[in-house]
């Protein structure tokens, strides 16, 4: 038996909600595994199942070949220890008191702790470098010291597996690194299997040889960091665009949210015509203008929220009288504006009989060979009596229009200027993040260097 | 050589523990010496009854003080809050109502166990009710919720008790009122034997649970990870705390705040580790109640109920703690 952990077809959840559905995972002994995913992906539920806090509805969970359901609590505590994100300790135990609680199941009830227990606690404190502060009340420690003491508590259980539940997320960079290095050392020197939940993708990719990416209670990707943390996977799971960069020197990955990148004028010299209305186009108009696109807009009714934004941004706009259906002259004005543009964007504008003319405009532009980008979810905003807008949009998409999801997605799909200034701007950011992998190869913390 | 190294906290706390252990018999001895006629032993040959009365009274004070203090320690550990206490949570009033029912219905005539049993049943019901009312739908109740529902349930129990007293035969009334204020005058030595015996056994059992109580103060989930059977342990510990509270109330009536004040003081003296805190709280609680009783017996020409003395010291102390915690912002 070489597996530290095996879940087979596990379904688990809470009273009215199934979080993990038919979930299977196999982790080899001695692995350092990172479990990633957005909030609600099932990471915490997975940990609760592993630590026996939550009994799965079906399927089997075994730790080191033993089914979790049949483990006595004391046996389980000797196999698995948990380091939580933050432990709220209401009374002023000393560090040593707290670490001694790792021996709860073996402590004698009345007498002094046995020599064996004392030695284990001593070793755990030395290993985590809290031996010097053993006499301090835990309530008076700094975040980093406190978390080291909690790791010592976990070590005192002498576990074969440690679950780190976002154990470093509230620490600053150097203490985060300190804890991770401590755990990595345990993993490498003592062969302790480590599972860690983290929202810090970079940190996880740095320390774990295997990553599991979860979404909606399922495994989306599983494997080496560079095969799991791809832009495509992350976009799918986190529903926002990110940029992954592999450092040629260290092999470390740096991950940046992409929406921050095209702040530069990538749209310089490119025209975009936006079909909006009722305020739904505000963000699109503003962002595209910021990105340097030459934005035009229409058809909008005068007094419409989007018309006001367009006016404020100084955009050329095809306008119709307030509360009127789109007439011939406005339609022609919009057609002329759109004809000058390089791409047409449809925002989340609701459709009724009055503004169906805008869909004619889109169809005409598509036929003219211009890229047409349509915001997803037309079903929810079609107020025409016969669902005509849904049908028309579906037609447009089958004929080559592109659906888009959010601003980052839209920006990624729009044509960009030939010389991409973002690449230049991105450079200093990337360097800052590199201090992380470099400091590790030299084996010191940044604050010590 | 380092100049004047401060004494390590662990060592200091261990020393304090031995000090508490050593001082307790001295204090109890002094309490025996204190009488209405001044300090001194009553003449063994001429007044054997008085000496015997004083001895049983100090013994009762010691056992009941120990029990109430230990019950406070358990409730504070499990609810993870230093403001929890049997009196504040209404457990004492529930137990009192049970005892009054037993006395007034004549159920108490069935034997020395009957009053503590009745107290225990109602105390358990009260604790469950308070817990239920404090937290909506199984979530962990907030401290304010617990205190508030504790006070409410407690006053309902008290008014039920008063109702029973007012419809009961008139001659029982004075003793019941005295008893609701706390009274260590032992009316029945067999009741003291049963109540005191249960209390002592309960305290020892609680002491045996120290490692688990320690783990539970880190939170129920963390205790689970440390290998504690949390649900079983919480039920057993709460059961024991309720049992010794009920036993004490059956013997001596409602004595408040011992379980709040003593554990708090002991925690600062011997540290929060339950392996040391439980015995220290038991000894300290016993000594504290014995002193309070000695004061109640001798301070004025008339005897005052001991519950009045403890409430007089404990009430302001409770408010002080509440105020300090609210200022610290760590209430939830």
Alpha-carbon distance of A220 to A36, in angstroms, equals: 10
Distance from the Cα of A243 to chain B's closest Cα (Å) equals 38
Q: What is the pLDDT of residues A159-170, one digit of tens each?
A: 999 999 888 888
- Specify the pLDDT at position A443: 39
8 Å CB contact between A275 and A344: yes
Which of A101-110, A154-163, A413-422, B184-193 is the least confident region? A413-422
- Using a CB–CB cutoff of 8 Å, tell me whether B38 touches chain A: no
Query: What sections of A191-262 are H helices per DSSP?
Result: 201-207, 225-228, 231-238
Contact call for A98 and B215, based on CB within 8 A: no
CATH number of A267-413: 3.40.50.720
Alpha-carbon distance of B296 to A99, in angstroms, equals: 44
Alpha-carbon distance of A166 to B47, in angstroms, equals: 71
Comparing CA positions, the residue from A97, A232, A195 lying closest to residue A153 is A97
- Specify the pLDDT at position A428: 37
Q: Would you mind telling me the total number of residues written for chain A in this entry?
A: 449
Instruction: Kindly indicate the confidence band of residue B53, based on its pLDDT and cuts at 50, 70 and 90.
Output: confident
Residue located via tokens 């109430």: B68
Residue B138 has pLDDT above 60, yes or no: no
Comparing CA positions, the residue from A48, A109, A55 lying closest to residue A82 is A48
End-to-end CA distance of chain A: 43
Residue A40 has pLDDT above 60, yes or no: yes
- Specify the pLDDT at position B141: 65
Q: What is the pLDDT of residues B100-134, one digit of tens each?
A: 888 777 766 677 778 888 888 999 999 888 888 87
Q: What residue ranges do the domains of chain B occupy?
A: 64-324
- A338 Rama class: left (phi>0) / alpha (psi -120 to 50) / beta: alpha
8 Å CB contact between B181 and B254: yes
Per the model's pLDDT, the better-predicted residue between B3 and A204 turns out to be A204
Comparing CA positions, the residue from B35, B55, B50 lying closest to residue B299 is B35
Residue located via tokens 């504008």: A349
- Specify the pLDDT at position B190: 81
- Specify the pLDDT at position A81: 93
Instruction: Kindly indicate the confidence band of residue B240, based on its pLDDT and cuts at 50, 70 and 90.
Output: very high
For residue A285, give Cα distances in angstroms to A230, A289, A298: 30, 6, 11
Residue A307 has pLDDT above 50, yes or no: yes
DSSP label at residue B301 = S
**A74, A90, A114, A156: best mutation site toward chain B, by most B Cβ within 10 Å?**
A90
Tell whether omega for the bond before A287 is within 30 degrees of 0, i.e. cis: no
Residue B222 has pLDDT above 60, yes or no: yes
- Specify the pLDDT at position A302: 86
Average pLDDT over residues A113-134: 90
Alpha-carbon distance of A236 to A219, in angstroms, equals: 12
Residue B11 has pLDDT above 70, yes or no: yes
Residue B1 has pLDDT above 50, yes or no: no
Q: What is the pLDDT of residues A236-270, one digit of tens each?
A: 888 777 778 877 777 778 887 765 545 555 677 78
Average pLDDT over residues A290-312: 86
CB contacts, 8 Å: A91 with chain B = 82, 217, 267, 272
- Specify the pLDDT at position A175: 85
Instruction: Supply the ipTM of this predicted assembly.
Output: 0.82
Q: Which residue of B has its CA nearest to A87?
A: B218
Distance of CA B261 to the CA centre of its chain: 10
- Specify the pLDDT at position B330: 40
Alpha-carbon distance of A280 to A313, in angstroms, equals: 15
CB contacts, 8 Å: B226 with chain A = 77, 101-102, 104-105, 157
Q: What residue ranges do the domains of chain A occupy?
A: 3-258, 267-413
Q: Which residue of B has its CA nearest to A106?
A: B211
- Using a CB–CB cutoff of 8 Å, tell me whether B203 touches chain A: no
Highest mean pLDDT among A178-182, A435-439, B203-207: B203-207
- Specify the pLDDT at position A86: 84
Q: Would you mind telling me the total number of residues written for chain B in this entry?
A: 332
Which of A275-284, A315-324, B34-43, B128-137 is the least confident region? B34-43
Helix (H, G, I), strand (E, B) or coil at B328: helix
Please list, in sequence order, all residues whose beta carbon lies within 8 angstroms of the beta carbon of residue A239, skipping any fewer than 6 positions away: A38, A405, A406
CB contacts, 8 Å: A96 with chain B = 10
Specify whether domain B64-324 bears CATH 3.30.2320.50. Answer: no
Average pLDDT over residues B153-178: 76
Nearest by CB: A104 against B226, B272, B330: B226
Regarding the domain with residue range A3-258, which homologous superfamily does it belong to in the CATH classification?
P-loop containing nucleotide triphosphate hydrolases (3.40.50.300)
8 Å CB contact between A267 and A288: yes
Average pLDDT over residues B203-230: 91
Q: What is the pLDDT of residues B281-307, one digit of tens each?
A: 999 999 999 999 888 888 777 778 888
Residue A47 has pLDDT above 80, yes or no: yes
Residue B271 has pLDDT above 60, yes or no: yes
For residue B303, give Cα distances in angstroms to A144, A420, B255: 57, 93, 16
8 Å CB contact between B214 and B274: yes
Please list, in sequence order, all residues whose beta carbon lies within 8 angstroms of the beta carbon of residue A76, skipping any fewer than 6 positions away: A51, A52, A63, A68, B227
- What percent of chain B clears pLDDT 70, i.e. is strictly above it? 86
């Amino acid at each position: 038996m070489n597996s530290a952990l095996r879940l087979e077809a596990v379904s688990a959840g809470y009273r009215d909600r199934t979080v993990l559905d038919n979930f299977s995972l196999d982790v080899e002994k001695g692995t350092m595994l990172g479990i990633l995913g957005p909030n609600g992906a099932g990471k915490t539920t997975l940990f609760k199942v592993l630590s026996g806090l939550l009994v799965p509805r079906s399927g089997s969970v075994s730790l080191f070949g033993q089914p979790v359901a049949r483990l006595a609590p004391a046996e389980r505590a000797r196999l698995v220890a948990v380091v939580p994100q933050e432990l709220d300790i209401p009374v002023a135990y000393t560090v040593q008191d707290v670490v001694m609680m790792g021996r709860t199941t073996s402590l004698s009830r009345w007498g002094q702790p046995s020599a064996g227990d004392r030695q284990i606690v001593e070793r755990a404190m030395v290993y985590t470098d809290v031996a010097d502060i053993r006499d301090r009340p835990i309530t008076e420690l700094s975040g980093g010291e406190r978390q080291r003491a909690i790791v010592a508590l976990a070590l005192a259980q002498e576990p074969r597996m440690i679950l780190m539940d976002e154990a470093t997320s509230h620490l600053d960079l150097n203490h985060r690194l300190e804890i991770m290095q401590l755990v990595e050392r345990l993993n490498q020197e003592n062969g302790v299997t480590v599972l860690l939940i983290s929202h810090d993708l970079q940190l996880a990719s740095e320390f774990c040889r295997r990553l599991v990416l979860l979404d909606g209670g399922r495994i989306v990707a599983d494997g080496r960091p560079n095969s799991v943390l791809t832009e495509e996977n992350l976009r799918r799971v986190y529903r926002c665009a990110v940029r992954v960069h592999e450092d040629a020197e260290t092999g470390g990955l740096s991950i940046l949210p992409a929406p921050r990148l095209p702040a530069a004028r990538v749209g310089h010299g490119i025209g975009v015509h936006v079909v909006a209305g009722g305020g739904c186009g505000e963000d699109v108009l503003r962002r595209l203008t910021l990105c340097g696109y030459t934005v035009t807009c229409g058809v909008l009714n005068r007094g419409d929220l989007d018309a006001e934004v367009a006016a404020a941004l100084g955009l050329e706009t095809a306008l119709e009288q307030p509360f009127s259906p789109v007439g011939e002259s406005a339609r022609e004005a919009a057609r002329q504006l759109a004809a000058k543009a390089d791409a047409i964007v449809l925002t989340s504008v609701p459709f009724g009989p009055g503004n169906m003319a805008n869909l004619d405009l889109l169809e005409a532009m598509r036929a003219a060979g211009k890229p047409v980008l349509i915001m997803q979810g037309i079903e929810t905003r079609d107020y025409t009596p016969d669902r005509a807008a849904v049908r028309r949009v579906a037609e447009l998409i089958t004929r080559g229009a592109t659906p888009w999801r959010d601003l980052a997605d839209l920006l990624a799909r729009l044509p960009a200027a030939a010389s991409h200034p973002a690449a230049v701007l991105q450079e200093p950011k990337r360097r800052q993040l590199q201090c992380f992998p470099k400091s590790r190869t030299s084996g010191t913390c940044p604050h010590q260097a | 050589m380092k100049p004047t190294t401060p004494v390590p906290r662990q060592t200091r706390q261990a020393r304090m523990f031995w000090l508490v252990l050593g001082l307790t018999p001295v204090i109890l001895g002094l309490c025996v010496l204190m009488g209405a006629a001044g300090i001194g032993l009553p003449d063994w040959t001429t007044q054997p009854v008085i000496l015997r009365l004083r001895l049983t009274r100090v013994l009762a004070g010691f056992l009941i003080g120990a029990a109430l203090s230990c019950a406070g320690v358990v409730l504070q550990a499990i609810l993870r809050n230093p403001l929890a206490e049997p009196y504040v949570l209404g457990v004492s009033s529930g137990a009192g109502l049970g005892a009054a029912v037993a006395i007034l219905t004549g159920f108490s005539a069935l034997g020395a166990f009957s009053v503590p049993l009745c107290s225990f049943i109602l105390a358990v019901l009260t604790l469950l009710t308070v817990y239920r009312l404090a937290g909506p739908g199984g979530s962990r109740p907030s401290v304010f919720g617990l205190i508030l529902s504790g006070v409410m349930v407690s006053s309902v129990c008290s008014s039920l008790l008063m109702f029973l007293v007012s419809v009961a035969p008139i001659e029982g009334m004075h003793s019941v009122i005295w008893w609701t204020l706390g009274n260590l005058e032992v009316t029945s030595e067999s009741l003291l034997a049963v109540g005191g015996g249960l209390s002592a056994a309960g305290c020892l059992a609680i002491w045996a649970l120290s490692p688990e109580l320690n783990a539970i103060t880190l939170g129920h989930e963390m205790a689970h990870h440390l290998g504690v059977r949390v649900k079983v342990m919480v039920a057993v510990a709460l059961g024991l705390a309720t049992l010794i509270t009920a036993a004490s109330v059956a013997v001596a009536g409602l004595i408040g705040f011992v379980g709040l004040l003593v554990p708090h003081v002991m925690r600062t003296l011997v540290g929060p580790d339950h392996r040391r805190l439980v015995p220290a709280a038991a000894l300290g609680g016993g000594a504290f109640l014995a002193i309070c009783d000695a004061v109640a017996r001798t301070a004025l020409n008339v005897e005052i109920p001991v519950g009045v003395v403890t409430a007089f010291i404990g009430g302001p102390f409770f408010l002080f703690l509440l105020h300090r915690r609210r200022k610290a912002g760590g209430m939830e």
